[in-house]
Chains A and B, each alone.
Chain A
Amino acid sequence: MAARDLLAASALALVLGAGAASAEVVINRGNDTDPATLDPHHTQTVSEGRILKDLFDGLVIQSAEGEAVPGVAESWDLSEDGTVYTFHLRDAKWSNGDPVTAHDFSFAYHRIVDPMTAAGYASNLFAIKNAEAIAGGEMPVDQLGVRAIDDKTLEITLKAPTPYFIELLTHQAALPVHQKSVEEFGDQFTRPENFVTNGAYKLESFTPNSQLVMVKNPHYYNADEVAIDRVNWIPFEDRSACMRRFEAGEVQICSDVPAEQMDYVQQNLADELRIAPYLGTYYLPVKGAEGSPLKDARVRRAISMVIDRDFIAESVWAGTMLPSFKLVPPGIANYDGDAVTVDYADKDLFDREDDALALLEEAGVEPGSLTVELRYNTGENHKNTMAAIADMLSNIGINARLNEVEGTTYFNYLREGGPFDMARAGWIGDYNDPQNFLMLYESGVPFNYSRWSNEQYDADLDKAAITQDLQERAKILADAEQTLLDEQAIIPILAYSSRALVSADVQGYEDNLMDAHATRWLSLN
């Protein structure tokens, strides 16, 4: 007995952090996966964003409610024509005590667009003047529209007015880096011993597949208000593993909950379960070979009509997703989603099936004559989703064959423009603006898996890009989405929800559309 208790006690001590005597406040947070790197300019994923936004403060940060609020920049001015931002910086320090200056931001933004850096998310800053040309190697780096006027003033010149620019700055690609340590240590600058950060936390250690430990940054400008002293970020490739450790009290926040176990969670962890609308869409790109009936918008529309989104959302995803007919998710800023209409959305499924059959007949597709391949990548609930869709398509005489493909091959195939009938794709918004979704289907962008091209759509997006009046712009963007959905180049089926387990001890965790929950806003009871 004694040995067992001792074992349990030591395990507990370890979970709570070795120095149980000091009243250090420690939180264990589950993350979807390890960061591929801690260099903000090389990161691409949501899970990296979570960690980096604890380590760094950008000009603008996300509040507990996920809204863009002043970060290192105390305030900013925008020129009349909407193209020049002037940011006024507060007194802030790096974790080594150096002051955070406008030069650090200028250095960072020059670094990310530099072709030598080869930053994956450089394109996120293409709104800045000359950024695209510089990343393409057509212009020297010093031509970038970013300039430090003095230590406390940063001027950013944009290519054109960009209403979502401030939102854009909340993304991890817009975080600063400490110039001196980057120059001194090169690609070693993210090592715990070298890493200088300006956020609420600094890095203590990083053990791959185990945990990433960060401790409070004493030099942080708001250090007094940071309630948690130590954060252990734990990667969970297996979401059930996070849930078990959550139930065992070893983890306080799980960033995801397995949909398969939702019945159990809703019964047993109802108070800890957080499901909230999330800025993301789950959709099916449709392509079809040359001459295939899938090239006919009526056929694509018929297919979209018979997909029972309620069943997929409620049963396959156990209520963790919302049925959707549109690409731009509900709740997004700078948009009027209601202006976009999908006329069959409110009809009963059986009526939709009749209409779909009529459409197919009109398009000359005999029942049973069309076979489509549903291609999807391994993971989550994609298999069940596609199996359900295959079953629904059989109701209007379309045969569907499933083809599951391993992830890397799958995405490479789509990016390279490989032929397919229908596939699956998901998109989580980088920033809160419809442009971030609608740009997916512009002609010639790599995200456009269907290689769909529509002049009206492209023209609308171009026009929106230079429209300053937000209402006018929202209308143009809605027109574009209407074109996309009328043509049914893609079949949106679900809007994402964020789903998390949050211990009752955690205070300050506010559900929000961006699923942004920086540790600085949290405290433990």
Chain B
Amino acid sequence: MTDIPMTAAMPSRSLWQDAWIRLKKNRAALASLVILVVLGLAGAFGPMISPHPYGAIYQQYVRVPPSLEAYPRAEEIEPAVESLIRRARVETTQTDVSGDTVTVSVASDQPIDERLVRYFQRSDQFFNPELVLADNGLTGTLTLEVERNYFFLGTDNLGRDMLSRILIGVRISLAIGILASTMALVLGVAYGAISGYLGGRIDNVMMRIVDILYSLPFIFFVILLLVFFGRSLLIIFIAIGATEWLDMARIVRGQTLSLKRREFVQAAEALGATRSGILRRHIIPNALGPVIVFVTLLVPKAILAESLLSFLGLGVQDPMTSLGLLISEGAQNMRGASWQLIGPAAVLTVILFALNFLGDGLRDSLDPKER
């Protein structure tokens, strides 16, 4: 309460500074902000530091479930070694596994080709093979190191690490959500406020344009864009942003229509404020409450719109992926490999929850009546 005279005495402190001070007091919102920043950083830098590139295929590890243990499992090492030795057309006489080192005694009727080692060099399961051959070349000892791979969230249908794919998916989905919503926010607020405030014929024409755009099928619109400009992330941003701003414009216009009859706007008009000044100082800030609530709905909507595109096969281009695409792929096999759905779905839920609490916090702190 002591804020009030202070604020009045310091008109230079802007709406946004006030909002920030209030937001800092809201623990849920602050925690959400932290989560979003962490996830944002994970999406931005995670794919670079992850041991598995998001596009890397591990043929031996297709659809392995999440595990804290490393692959290959102890009991898988021997069969894996033997199958590789068989491929080299050499026989195994003895295999010893001790920790991460494997020692194999090999034999053959014909002199053993030293190139045997490349079968292990190219394998995802072993590295550093060394072959010591007996003098006659028919027997030898092969030592190998087991390459330990961790798939904490399992792998997908091609043996790609789900964790790395989720990280890149977070990056793409957040980017789509934020960019498309920003586009919708800027376009929608400006358009809706102008239309509602100016009213009359201009409002009518502007809203008819919104009607027209609204009636153009979203999917159809995206297909056309993809067909003309090829499949790219930019097109997906634009397509989603261009569709989502329409709702925003409607809501802001509705608010404006009711705000412009309010006493304080009429007072400002009477005092000779310019139209743009009234729009910027009075209409838009007062309409911001519902707008912020709507943005918190819009970011998830944009992320989900992208996932609908993925469901229809119009999403981002493989090996890139998005959370929506991961979820739609996971949903196809929810009973056989549930981790492919649960991982990305959980991350998406966390993101959207955080956005939600942040949105509520922002609304409370931006509310001009709280000043």
- Direct chain A–B contact by Cβ atoms under 8 Å: yes
Q: Which residues of A contact B (CB under 8 A)?
A: 240, 258, 260-264, 308, 311, 315-316, 348-350, 378-379, 383-384, 386-388, 390-391, 395, 402-406, 409
Q: Which of B41-49, B68-76, B332-340, B353-361 contacts A (4 or more CB under 8 A)?
A: B332-340
Known interface pairs A261-B333, A263-B337, A388-B57; A406-B223 also in contact (CB < 8 Å): yes
**A406 with B333, Cβ < 8 A, contacts A260-B157, A311-B59, A387-B57 known:** no
Query: B10 near A: Cβ within 8 Å?
Result: no
A–B complex contacts, Cβ < 8 Å, 27 sampled: A240-B332, A260-B333, A261-B333, A262-B336, A263-B336, A264-B333, A264-B335, A348-B87, A350-B119, A378-B313, A378-B314, A379-B313, A384-B157, A386-B318, A387-B158, A388-B57, A390-B319, A391-B55, A391-B57, A395-B122, A403-B317, A404-B231, A405-B231, A406-B223, A406-B226, A406-B314, A409-B227
B317 / chain A contacts, CB cutoff of 8 Å: 402-404
Max chain B Cβ within 10 angstroms of own Cβ: one of A258, A263, A404, A409: A404
Cβ of B59 and Cβ of A315 under 8 Å apart? yes
List A contacts of B254 (CB < 8 A): none
Per-residue 0/1 for B122-136: is the Cβ within 8 Å of any A Cβ (1 yes, 0 no)?
100000000000000
Residues of A contacting B332 in the complex (Cβ-Cβ under 8 angstroms): 240, 258, 260-261
Residues of B within 8 A of A (CB): 55-57, 59, 62-63, 87-88, 118-119, 122, 157-159, 223, 226-227, 231, 313-314, 317-319, 329, 332-333, 335-337
**B84 nearest in chain A by CB position:** A350
Cα–Cα distance between A262 and B336 once the two chains are bound (Å): 8
CB A464 to nearest CB in B, in angstroms, measures: 39
CB neighbours (8 Å) of A263 from chain B are 63, 333, 336-337
Contact B336 A264 (CB under 8 A): yes
Q: In the complex, what distance in Å separates the CA atom of A308 from the CA atom of B87? A: 14
Known: A260-B157, A315-B62, A350-B119. A403 touches B313 (CB 8 A): no
Q: How far is the CA of A410 from the CA of B301 in the complex (A)?
A: 29
Q: How far is the CA of A405 from the CA of B313 in the complex (A)?
A: 9
Residue of A nearest to B311 (CB): A238
Residue of B whose beta carbon sits closest to that of A317? B157
Q: Which residue from chain B places its CB closest to the CB of A405 in the assembled complex?
A: B231
Contact B87 A406 (CB under 8 A): no
Partner of B157, one of A264, A308, A316, A404: A316
**Contact, CB under 8 Å: B159 / A315:** yes
Can you name the residue of chain B whose Cβ is closest to the Cβ of A379?
Answer: B313
A-B contact count (CB 8 A): 72
User: In the docked arrangement, what's the CA distance between A391 and B159, Å?
Assistant: 12
CB neighbours of B314 from chain A (8 A): 378, 406
Q: Beyond the given A316-B158, A349-B87, could you list 6 further A-B residue pairs with CB under 8 A, ordered by the A residue number?
A: A240-B332, A263-B63, A263-B333, A384-B158, A402-B319, A406-B313
Q: Are A403 and B231 in contact (CB under 8 A)?
A: yes
Contacts of B56 in A (CB 8 A): 391
User: Residue A350 contacts which of B122, B157, B335 (CB distance < 8 angstroms)?
Assistant: B122
Q: Across the interface, which residues of B come within 8 angstroms of A349, CB to CB? A: 87
Find chain A residues with CB under 8 A from B333 CB.
258, 260-261, 263-264
Smallest CB gap from B160: residue in A: A387
Residues of chain A contacted by B55 (CB below 8 angstroms): 387, 391
A382→B151 CA distance, assembly (Å): 25
Residues of A within 8 A of B87 (CB): 348-350
B318 in contact with A261 (CB, 8 Å): no
A403 to B317, CA, bound (A): 7
- Rounded to whole angstroms, the CA-CA distance of A388 and B57 in the bound complex is 7
The 10 closest A-B pairs by CB, nearest first: A378-B313, A264-B336, A263-B336, A260-B333, A391-B57, A315-B62, A260-B332, A264-B335, A383-B318, A348-B87
Distance between Cα atoms of A350 and B84 in the complex (Å): 11
User: Which chain B residue shows the least CB distance to A391?
Assistant: B57
In the complex, A349→B122 CA distance in Å?
Answer: 11
Residues of chain B contacted by A403 (CB below 8 angstroms): 231, 317
Output the nearest chain A residue to B89 by Cβ-Cβ distance: A348
CB distance from B271 to the nearest CB of A (A): 57
Chain A residues within 8 Å of B335, by CB: 261, 264
Name the A residues within 8 Å of B318 (CB-CB): 383, 386-387, 402, 404
Q: What is the CB-to-nearest-CB distance from B148 to chain A, in angstroms, rounded to a whole number? A: 21
Q: Could you tell me the distance between the alpha carbons of A405 and B230 in the complex, rounded to whole angstroms?
A: 8
- Measured CB to CB, the nearest residue on chain A to B59 is A311
**Closest residue of A by beta carbon distance from B336:** A264
CA–CA, A308 and B59, complex, Å: 10
**B residues near A308, Cβ cutoff 8 Å:** 59
Closest to B119 in A: A350
In the complex formed, the residue of B with least CB distance to A383 is B318
Residues of B within 8 A of A316 (CB): 157-158
For the complex formed, measure the closest distance between the CB of B180 and the CB atoms of chain A, giving whole angstroms.
21
Nearest CB in chain A to that of B316: its residue: A404
Known: A387-B158, A391-B57. A261 touches B122 (CB 8 A): no
Q: In the bound complex, what is the Cα–Cα distance between A388 and B59 (angstroms)?
A: 9
Q: How far is the CA of A32 from the CA of B56 in the complex (A)?
A: 33
Closest-CB distance, A161 to chain B (whole angstroms): 45
Please tell me if the beta carbons of A261 and B119 are within 8 angstroms of each other in the complex: no
For B337, the chain A residues whose CB sits under 8 A away are: 263
Bound together, the chains give a CA A402 to CA B59 distance in angstroms of 19
CB distance from B177 to the nearest CB of A (A): 22
Q: How far does the Cβ of A320 sit from chain B's closest Cβ, in whole Å?
A: 13
B315 CB, nearest partner CB in chain A, Å: 9
- Chain A contacts of B313 at CB under 8 A? 378-379, 404, 406
Contact A406 B227 (CB under 8 A): yes
Note all chain A residues with C-beta closer than 8 A to B63.
Answer: 263
In the complex, the chain B residue whose C-beta lies closest to that of A380 is B313
The residue in A258, A383, A409 that gathers the most chain B C-beta atoms within 10 A of its C-beta is A383
Q: Tell me the complex Cα distance, A391–B223, Å.
A: 28
User: Do residues A350 and B223 form an inter-chain contact, with CB atoms below 8 A?
Assistant: no
CB distance from A56 to the nearest CB of B (A): 34
Chain A nearest CB from B147 CB (Å) reads: 17
For residue B291, give the distance in angstroms from its CB to the closest CB of chain A: 35
